[in-house]
Chains A and B, each alone.
Chain A
């Protein structure tokens, strides 16, 4: 199956993880954008929610944090207030509280700081690609897409190389907590609430908690004050410091978010190359395409399918009333295919410019902190890949993650001819 021809009938259940196991239900999103842009979505697993699917609605709402708050959770699953407090990071806060934490991290993730990693990324890509391409036929998600973000995360955060595979396994168990290939505790099928106070309601969260604590103790002992983790531990301007729980949650967020989103962007880009053979030629021609290619690949992928907000008061919209306390989902994956905004949205056009896609949650204060790293990794990976191959094609059907929160190709068999 391909993501070019959606398999859903236009009436898919957006609240079901199974729906997304065949790729995002784009026929359903297209119908909702057309007929019912503020759709009251039934959710058997908890309180029903509003689905917002149009580009212009999401961009207008995303900056309106007073009305649409992140401070009651960012996924469709309901949380008790107690669970929310135990599991929250600055993702689950609003300005100005959110801004205080974000401010501490901006420099470490800025475009300029990230640019300093370019050679590191290029060296890692060379190593990863040289190993994968000699195989001729392989799973590109496993051998290429999964490798680069994991190893860069280690460098940026300052983690020991030998711990990385374990960390990525745990990161997968957290964020892909609805796919049985990645966790034995599938979120919507769990018989226990034992982990409800842990990040992502996952036992892996408990293990990462312990790891984070031991890591910081070891770093403190060695007098190692470098790296992103120490930035978050430093007192804010007003003297406030992060609590231990908040710190551990932040660590889990880094491991989860810094890992699979870029992976699935790379996987989607490689799959697009198999489907649109002209992309390889365009990449090989080089030049200005590298200023636009990464954003188009990331638009195409949209690994963060949605984020949720909660209404803080009643709001009228499209002739309906969003009530105070209602959950509102911004379906970025739909906005990024909105034919009312993008020209030929179902076509990968590496020259697309401007390309104001919403894969990073743009037009709001929560815009992805790692976006410059992600863009750089995607750019360099495809530059290095295009240099090394003459041809790439699918070697079998690909498989999507079972998740309505993270969209990604988890298995991508490809065949390549080296250059």
Chain B
């Protein structure tokens, strides 16, 4: 599926993500700057924070309880903030647009 990451400097990265990957893993595989994923998706680092494009927010679903708590620690949290390790690739998300926070 196709994913686009909008970067804080105005650039974008568009890449094909494999099904079965999380969007954090897809970001790492495509070298998206600013999405780190230090804990491998264990909800321990909040380093894969992204903003889901508002048009896609409903399709991505809501953050779970632990994820929401972790997002509470993230800087610059917005309404559509998610930890991208918690979003799985899925045919319904083909064309997804994510924004990478500053810093």
Contact = CB atoms under 8 A, between A and B. Distances in A.
Contact of B40 (A59, A102, A237): A59
Interface of B: 28, 31, 38-47, 66, 69-70, 73, 75, 103
* Interface pairs A-B: 9 shortest CB-CB: A363-B40, A365-B42, A365-B44, A63-B40, A367-B39, A367-B38, A112-B75, A107-B73, A106-B73
Interface string A107-125: 1001110000000000000
B39 A99 contact: no
A111 B41 CA distance: 18
A63 B42 CA distance: 7
Nearest to A59: B40
A68 to B, nearest CB: 12
A72 interface: no
12 contacts: A95-B44, A102-B44, A103-B73, A106-B70, A106-B73, A110-B46, A112-B103, A362-B38, A362-B39, A362-B40, A367-B39, A367-B44
B40 A364 contact: yes
Contacts, number: 57
Assign chain A's interface to a size class: 20 to 34
Given A106-B73, A111-B103, A365-B44, A99 B66 contact: yes
Contact of B46 (A65, A106, A360, A371): A106
Interface in A60-107: 62-63, 65, 95-96, 99, 102-103, 106-107
Contact of B28 (A356, A360, A366): A356
Nearest to B31: A354
Given A110-B46, A365-B44, A367-B45, 11 more contacts: A63-B40, A95-B44, A99-B66, A106-B70, A110-B75, A111-B47, A354-B28, A360-B38, A362-B40, A366-B44, A367-B44
Chain B: interface secondary structure?
A: loop
A62 B40 CA distance: 9
Contact of B38 (A65, A107, A371): A371
Given A112-B103, A354-B31, A363 B39 contact: yes
A341 to B, nearest CB: 13
Most chain B beta carbons < 10 A, residue from A62, A96, A102, A237: A102
A320 B5 CA distance: 42
A371 B28 CA distance: 19
A365 B37 CA distance: 11
A20 B70 CA distance: 39
Contacts of B70: 103, 106
A63 B69 CA distance: 20
B73 A99 contact: no
B10 to A, nearest CB: 18
Contacts of A363: 38-40
B45 to A, nearest CB: 6
Contacts of B45: 106, 367
B31 A63 contact: no
Interface in A100-156: 102-103, 106-107, 110-112
A96 B44 CA distance: 11
Nearest to A371: B38
B9 to A, nearest CB: 14
B69 A237 contact: yes
